[in-house]
Amino acid sequence: DIQMTQSPSSLSASVGDRVIITCRASQNINSYVNWYQQKPGKAPKLLLYISSSLQSGVPSRFSGSGSGTDFTLTISSLQPEDFASYFCQQSHSIPFTFGGGTRVEIK
């Protein structure tokens, strides 16, 4: 199985901060990385797919990059509604696997 190592596991940031979350795959997965946001008690929501494609309706302050084994999710200017958990996921091969998650908290 492909392991997805996500970091940091948590971070504290202020509104307006730039936030970067990284994800490393245990083998080459081309660009088959997707990013999800999850708020407490809610289902995950797709933010980005194929590394850098923005899902319809997602604000442009979210961006993604990377290919091969190293990927990043960037929030350019953190907004109050962005305080949540974020997960990367590889869809290169079955079984799909997720990173351990990053909890973004208010500083």
Asked if 51 and 68 touch (Cβ cutoff 8 Å), the reply is no
Is residue 86 close enough to count as binding another protein by CB under 8 A? no
Is residue 20 close enough to count as binding another protein by CB under 8 A? no
Is residue 97 close enough to count as binding another protein by CB under 8 A? yes
Paired tokens of 71 = 């990927």
Residues 6+ apart with CB under 8 A from 94: none
End-to-end Cα distance, the chain = 36
3-class SS of residue 43: coil
Is residue 46 close enough to count as binding another protein by CB under 8 A? yes
For residue 46, CA distances in Å to 12, 26, 33 come to 22, 22, 11
Is residue 84 close enough to count as binding another protein by CB under 8 A? no
Decide whether 17 or 45 has the Cβ nearer to another protein: 45
Is residue 55 close enough to count as binding another protein by CB under 8 A? yes
* Choice from 14, 16, 43, 107 touching another protein (CB under 8 A): 43
Interface with another protein (CB under 8 A):
1, 32, 34, 36, 42-46, 49-50, 55, 87, 89, 91-92, 94-101
